[in-house]
Chains A and B, each alone.
Chain A
Amino acid sequence: MSAFRALLAKELHVYFAAPLVYLVAAAFLAYTGYYFHSDLVYFVTFGFGLNIMENFWQIVFMDIRLVLIFSIPLLTMRLLAEERRLGTLELLVTYPVSDRAIVAAKLGACLIVVALLVGATALYPMWVYRVQPFDTTPLLAGYLGLMLLAAACASYGLFISALTDSQVLAGFLTAMPLLLLWLLSWNEAANAEATLPLLRALSLFNHFQPFAVGVVEARDVFYFLMLAGGFTWATLRVLEARQWRGRR
């Protein structure tokens, strides 16, 4: 436990010692802020008086999700690739700590940073509430959805980062499939009818959407947890492989 805490603290320190996290945060907040502004203008112009959850917050959450998908690869690409490149992984795995604790601390540090970013967007509903009070409980579902999505994406990013010692490659290979999952069903008319149900089942878009309107469904929670668990399992296998592959 103390090893987990030491590693978590070190990961957070390394995050905040480098400029990247500040640039990512600045871009994340600028983009989500701009989306919030433009969505609000849209809602006030065309949807005023309609259901605010369906017609405004849903759109805002979908937009935050999009920015999040682009931000996460930048936060995960370093995690194991850099340890590999520096050669520090060799020393790290000789300490009396399990691979599980290493993976948990790295993923945990990344999710804390994501939680700070996502948490900062709570300013937007707080500001709207000050102008015009509304029922805020459905928003909690939206934030839960964002964190579940982040957990799934970050686990995938960590897995990719374990495979290479190039941060750039790790970032690229993380971002591309995430983008693909988002694209898969964004225009349902462009897909064949036979494959559409499968695409819907896989798509990040479809599983996130219920959260955005304030609905938490078990199968959506399960979808994200399964992705996170699956990639964490795979990351552990990659770390283990050093023992029989004889490389760092």
Chain B
Amino acid sequence: MDDVSFNVERGAVVGLLGPNGSGKSTLMRCLIGFFSPTAGRIRVNGVDVAERPIAARRQLGYLPEHVMLYPELTVRRYLGFVAGMKGLRGAKRRAAVSTALEQCGLADVAARHTGKLSKGYRQRVGLAQALLGDPDLLVLDEPTVGLDPVQTVELRSLVRGLAGRTVLLSTHILSEAAALCSQVVILKQGRLVAVDSPDELARRVERVGGVVVTIDGPVEAVHALLASLPGVADVERVEDGRGRAPTFRIGSNGAEPVQRAIAAAVVDRGWTLLEMRQEVSTLEELFMRLVG
């Protein structure tokens, strides 16, 4: 990891995005104090993770990428053990375990041994143990990886139900980040490439993407007109091979949307605007552009 700095505001749900091997898990393991960074600082609520690891860990709940449980323990006993590890005792401990069981939909399997749980339930147990002790910050490493679609939806709604808590979650699925997060941090090979809200990223997509228009009119004149419009950076003829009216791909210079000007100009000349669409509109494409 190199030169990765960002802040997570209280109450925010922040997604850590990046392809496999981009350093998401390493960053999280540094954050929870499992690895020590060779340089730089990590603070949780102002507590330095390297200097006061135990005080920092008290404020953290961590869900590792692969949830590993003790197969000999039942779900309830396991959560009781974790609650004890986090300093809860007696009635408080029992109450915290019951709440976590309830919150994560584990009440039905509380008496089952953790070795006999499905992947979806293991992940919930992982989330439940992270929630124990009411940590200020939840660190979730790829919470939905390996789950089937139903389990994925269930787990996402669990995470969404944590409203008010600060969550840092890593994922390589963009739609997940877009659905859950108020801010995304994009990593590539251990470096930070973007920090933004998913909406802002989507807007950036529109800005960088081109507009494709099909206009029924004289090719040369249409080309010249389009190139002269304000906000247009370049115009490129697109052959669609179907012998239709000329189609152009228009690159915007990002200053202002070009659609309105195109439509007005075409109507003004008496030509017919057959089609106009935004070319790139998925986060995936921006993502590829950022990390590719």
List residues of A whose CB falls within 8 A of some B CB.
2-3, 5-7, 9-10, 13-14, 17-18, 86-88, 90-98, 242-244, 246
Query: In the complex, are the beta carbons of A87 and B66 less than 8 A apart?
Result: yes
Query: In the complex, are the beta carbons of A96 and B58 less than 8 A apart?
Result: yes
Known A-B contacts: A3-B85, A6-B80, A87-B66. Give 15 more (CB < 8 A): A6-B82, A7-B84, A10-B81, A17-B73, A87-B68, A88-B69, A88-B70, A91-B64, A94-B62, A96-B54, A96-B58, A96-B87, A97-B85, A242-B35, A246-B35
Bound-state CA distance A93–B64 (Å) is 12
Knowing A14-B70, A86-B70, A88-B70, the reply to whether A94 touches B84 (Cβ < 8 A) is no
Minimum C-beta distance from A192 to chain B (A): 48
Q: Is B272 an interface residue (CB 8 A)?
A: no
Query: In the complex, are the beta carbons of B84 and A3 less than 8 A apart?
Result: yes
Among the listed A9, A17, A87, A93, which residue makes an inter-chain contact with B84, where contact means beta carbons less than 8 Å apart?
A9
> Which of chain A's residues have a CB closer than 8 A to the CB of B66?
87
> Which of chain A's residues have a CB closer than 8 A to the CB of B77?
13
Query: In the complex, are the beta carbons of A2 and B84 less than 8 A apart?
Result: yes
Q: Is B13 an interface residue (CB 8 A)?
A: no
Can you name 29 A-B residue pairings with CB atoms under 8 Å?
A3-B87, A6-B82, A6-B84, A9-B81, A10-B70, A10-B73, A10-B81, A13-B73, A13-B77, A14-B70, A86-B68, A86-B71, A88-B69, A88-B70, A90-B34, A90-B68, A91-B62, A91-B64, A93-B33, A94-B33, A94-B34, A94-B60, A95-B82, A96-B54, A96-B57, A96-B85, A96-B86, A243-B34, A243-B35
> Which of chain A's residues have a CB closer than 8 A to the CB of B148?
none
Knowing A10-B73, A90-B34, the reply to whether A95 touches B86 (Cβ < 8 A) is yes
> Which of chain B's residues have a CB closer than 8 A to the CB of A14?
70, 72-73
Q: Is B247 an interface residue (CB 8 A)?
A: no
Query: In the complex, are the beta carbons of B84 and A5 less than 8 A apart?
Result: yes
Total interface residues in chain B, CB < 8 Å: 32
Knowing A98-B54, A243-B35, the reply to whether A91 touches B68 (Cβ < 8 A) is yes
Among the listed B34, B80, B88, B89, which residue makes an inter-chain contact with A93, where contact means beta carbons less than 8 Å apart?
B34
Bound-state CA distance A50–B72 (Å) is 51
Minimum C-beta distance from B264 to chain A (A): 60
> Which of chain A's residues have a CB closer than 8 A to the CB of B129?
91
> Which of chain A's residues have a CB closer than 8 A to the CB of B32?
94
Q: Is B36 an interface residue (CB 8 A)?
A: yes
> Which of chain A's residues have a CB closer than 8 A to the CB of B83?
6
User: Which of B80, B83, B84 gathers the greatest number of chain A CB atoms within 10 Å?
Assistant: B84
- 67-112 of chain B: CB within 8 A of chain A: 68-73, 77, 80-89
List residues of B whose CB falls within 8 A of some A CB.
29, 32-36, 54-55, 57-58, 60, 62, 64, 66, 68-73, 77, 80-89, 129
Knowing A6-B85, A97-B54, the reply to whether A13 touches B72 (Cβ < 8 A) is yes
> Which of chain B's residues have a CB closer than 8 A to the CB of A96?
54-55, 57-58, 85-87
Of chain A, the residue at the smallest CB distance from B38 is A244
Query: In the complex, are the beta carbons of B72 and A6 less than 8 A apart?
Result: no
Knowing A9-B81, A9-B84, the reply to whether A243 touches B36 (Cβ < 8 A) is yes
Minimum C-beta distance from A43 to chain B (A): 43
> Which of chain B's residues have a CB closer than 8 A to the CB of A244?
36
Query: In the complex, are the beta carbons of A95 and B85 less than 8 A apart?
Result: yes
Minimum C-beta distance from A9 to chain B (A): 7
> Which of chain A's residues have a CB closer than 8 A to the CB of B85?
3, 6-7, 92, 95-97
Bound-state CA distance A105–B11 (Å) is 36
Of chain A, the residue at the smallest CB distance from B29 is A90
Minimum C-beta distance from A175 to chain B (A): 24
> Which of chain A's residues have a CB closer than 8 A to the CB of B87?
2-3, 96
> Which of chain B's residues have a CB closer than 8 A to the CB of A97?
54, 85
Of chain B, the residue at the smallest CB distance from A245 is B35
User: Which of A3, A10, A17 gathers the greatest number of chain B CB atoms within 10 Å?
Assistant: A10
Knowing A87-B68, A91-B129, A244-B36, the reply to whether A6 touches B54 (Cβ < 8 A) is no
Bound-state CA distance A242–B81 (Å) is 23
Bound-state CA distance A77–B120 (Å) is 31
> Which of chain A's residues have a CB closer than 8 A to the CB of B62?
91, 94
